Structure 1
Amino acid sequence: MTAIPSVVQLAYGDLPEGWDIQKLKFFATIRTSNVDKTVSDDEIPVELCNYTDVYYNDRIVPSMEFMRGSATAAEIRKFRLQFGQVIITKDSEGWDDIGIPALVTEDMPGVLCGYHLAIFDPTNKLDGNYLSWLCRSAPLNNQFKTAANGVTRFGLGQHAMKNAYIALPPIKTQRRIAAFLDEKTARIDALIEKKRALLDRLAEKRQALITQTVTKGLDAGVQMKPSGLNWLGEIPEHWNVRRLRFFMACRTINGLYKPKEQFDNSGVPFIQMGEAFRSESFQGGTEDRVLATEDEVKQWGLHEGDFLIARRSLVFDGSGKSVRIESISEPHLFESSMIRLRIKNPEKYSRFLSYYFQSQVGRAFFLAITKQVTISGIDSQQLKNIPTLLPPAKEAHDISNFLMDAERRFGEIVQRIETSVVRLKEYRSALITTVVNGESLPN
């Protein structure tokens, strides 16, 4: 018998009596799928269980919506889904996404395992549900991750999967462990979902508070008047409606296009779309720097109180998103998918406008001028004509301070909830590993 590597022994620890450590290939048939998404007229129509179906689901069930595809008769015999199989992700852009499993709950002869996945077909000595939990446990999952090869894309070969070591208790114990983990993790997952739902409700409450405050003000007893715009409704009597160009200190300007040869670590920070819209304010932190002339920095540089507006987006809701530039320690440039908006008297109105742009009303005005073609986009000329509210400068300042305080309170609550979600996930992972290692067996 081949000696078990010490790193594997250490990972599994001291197993209970009657348990063993064995190579997976002795207890499961392992196949990697070559069924692609191409539909051919000379093949048989099928449905495909693809990478995302496995990645986002613990179980593969018949009620799922699968992609339409085609396959040969030989492929159908080899890769059709059957009860008790475990499908894992074998290819990924990140090594940490390798070996994620999903259990097949029923025979599905018309559904095939798609490309970038592998099928584990257990023998009668290995329970499929137990195997799916094994794949989530650190000792086995880490073997998959470390065996994956690649730089920009990682792949797990059949040899590594077949020769991975598993903890193997008696079959009755396997089933008891699987049933226990089904129940316990379902409770944990339900609690995580409740916390995520609470985060969604907090986000809705935050949005509602911003919208109410920037359109109605802080004084509940103030006299109101019609705004003349359906989306705005009534506004405080002493407020005015102005086009956005009223606030502008200069014309809008689209960002710079910089070719690859001008990217240089000694250059000026260059803000990309994903970096700009991580939150509603930008305080620095870019991955890229570019070579730039003094004139380019002068023309496209950013000041505190400026706004960057998403000029185009792959998704409709992303168009017109805004971010306010906070204090930054050095000049920054921005890429061509964004528009810079510079405000007169930013100390008076920039923060108020930031909240107005985030409000439901502000977003509605931005989306109303978005052109939907292949990529959603905004015309900077139309941007200047977006209706904007103008309260007195002191009131705008008070509203901004009120919302900043509310943001801090929301942020503290959100942070506590997100921390508890992380801890629940860590507990879930630790529980799986502890139980499948036999350290804490269910009664």
Structure 2
Amino acid sequence: MSFPHYDFYKASGVDWLGVIPGHWDVVPLKRNIAFLTSGSRGWADHYSEDGAIFIRIGNLTRDRSSLDLRNVQRVAVPEGIEGERTKVEPGDILFSITAYLGSVAVVPESIGLAYVSQHVALVRLKRGVILPEWIAYLALSSVGKTYLEAQGYGGTKVQLSLEDISRLPIVCPPLSEQVAIVSFLDRETAKIDALVEEQQRLIDLLNEKRQATISRAISKGLNPLLANKTSGTAIYGPVPDTWVVLRLRFVVGKIESGTSVNSIDIPAPENAIGILKTSSVYSGEFDYTENKAVLDDEISRVSCPVKSGALIVSRMNTPDLVGAAGLSLYDRPNIYLPDRLWQVHIKGMSPEFVDYWTKSEIYRYQIKMACAGTSSSMQNISQDQFLNLYITRPPISEQNSIVQYLESTVAEIKALMDNATDAVALLQERRAALISAAVTGKIDVRDALTRNAEAA
């Protein structure tokens, strides 16, 4: 779909904004602010099972202007003026001022009693001049993102000040035009979001298929006509006659771990010393490029370089990622393990088969059971717990056949997932470009609503 341009443009006075429609203005947000604040420190002491909604950064999404309230913290509001100052009202605009700078949301009419955390800025506009939704779309546009990211200050923790928020350049058309453009963007982005959701569902289904394919192959084999026997464990049920179910400890030669050292969060240059991140196994495949460059005066402390044929396993992580593993295919003499990762050496089995086993539903179930009762946010599995997991051991020739089958089948599924992921990326790029073009006046969408209404 193509859109016309405005008849007349003028210089905006902002280098990275360029020209704007001749009847639009550019003003700092502060000219339209009635009230500006951020949350108070110390409210974590007042968390409760019920009470008011406590809006945190996680409730502000990066590319949407709506609050995500699927996971909310409740708070018993402390007495005093701080509660009144940080209470939100419908139509308020919320900005993240730490972490993901510039994430934004407009408070809906249905919010009820809610307050902002210290990491969230609250902007309340003067009435009848500019729409909150217009500001939100501007913040999500390339103009808003460029400005907010440029203002971030600090070292390891980048943040924005309230003054930074107040100076956000606002491209300001007449109010009636704001209404038309916001309505257009609401409709068009909803269409794009529906297509994205459809692709995400496809990715989820393909991921489930991949995991089910792996689980079936490593627990039942490839030939459903083979005679079965009891495995002796409830988690596996019957297994082929020639298979053995045993504790992992009987097929592990040794487990090594490294040392956590001071580093900088950039990958180590070629031939330099790097320390692995736990994210090196997040995808289920080992990615040695997920490392950090070790500081020169810490190099003498590193230990345990990455070895070929070893499983790299995350021993401590969030519930979904503890136990995540990937197989190292090559020696990496300059890349070392931290203490949160194990290097597991396999004996008497195909390392590739064991690697696929760590991608199975049965493996994840056992990890979950081993970690039961530990922290809900960060979990740890001990070596003894890990070695007590049950694994199937087919004859080595059958292990190799299963690995060959899974390499081919999983690659086909992954190709479909990659196609869907690429489609999502293109849709999101189109969404971002459409928002930026509309709110900066690069396209004129005022008649698009009328044309669509007539077509309907």
TM-score range, shorter chain: 0.7 to 0.9
Name the structure 2 match of 1:81. 88
* Equivalences for residues 296-311 of structure 1 within 5 A: 300-311=304-315
* Cα 1:125/1:284, change in 2 over 3 Å: closer
C-alpha separation in 1, matches of 2:166 and 2:26: 14
Say which of 188, 192, 195 aligns to 1:188: 192
Name the structure 2 match of 1:291. 299
The AA in structure 2 aligned to 1:344 is: K
* Equivalences for residues 133-282 of structure 1 within 5 A: 133-248=137-252, 250=253, 252-260=254-262, 268-282=273-287
Three-state SS of the structure 2 residue aligned to 1:81 is coil
C-alpha separation in 2, matches of 1:253 and 1:230: 27
* Cα 1:409/1:74, change in 2 over 3 Å: same
The AA in structure 2 aligned to 1:193 is: E
Say if 2:419 is the partner of 1:416: yes
The AA in structure 1 aligned to 2:120 is: L
Say if 2:74 is the partner of 1:67: yes
- Identity over aligned residues, as a percent? 21
TM-superposed CA distance for 1:232, in Å, is 0.9
Name the structure 1 match of 2:339. 336
Q: Deviations over 1:409-432 (max 9, x none)?
A: 122112111111111111111111
Name the structure 2 match of 1:440. 444
Name the structure 1 match of 2:360. 359
5+ long unaligned stretches in structure 1: none
Three-state SS of the structure 1 residue aligned to 2:358 is helix
* Cα 1:47/1:220, change in 2 over 3 Å: closer
C-alpha separation in 1, matches of 2:23 and 2:133: 20
TM-superposed CA distance for 1:126, in Å, is 0.9
C-alpha separation in 2, matches of 1:309 and 1:194: 33
Q: Which moved more, 1:215-224 or 1:74-83?
A: 74-83
* Cα 1:153/1:171, change in 2 over 3 Å: same
The AA in structure 1 aligned to 2:366 is: F
Three-state SS of the structure 2 residue aligned to 1:126 is coil
Q: Deviations over 1:275-294 (max 9, x none)?
A: 2444333556522445358x
Name the structure 2 match of 1:426. 429
TM-superposed CA distance for 1:211, in Å, is 0.7
Cα contact 2:26–2:169 (8 A) shared by 1: yes
Cα contact 2:256–2:344 (8 A) shared by 1: no
Q: Deviations over 1:243-274 (max 9, x none)?
A: 333323x3x3341335549x999875433423
C-alpha separation in 1, matches of 2:41 and 2:121: 13
Name the structure 2 match of 1:376. 379
Name the structure 1 match of 2:405. 402
Cα contact 2:306–2:332 (8 A) shared by 1: no
Name the structure 2 match of 1:392. 395
Cα contact 1:8–1:139 (8 A) shared by 2: no
Say if 2:55 is the partner of 1:54: no
Cα contact 2:230–2:237 (8 A) shared by 1: yes
TM-superposed CA distance for 1:395, in Å, is 1.5
C-alpha separation in 2, matches of 1:106 and 1:379: 48
TM (norm. structure 2) is: 0.81
Three-state SS of the structure 2 residue aligned to 1:106 is coil
C-alpha separation in 2, matches of 1:33 and 1:356: 48
5+ long unaligned stretches in structure 2: 1-9, 448-456
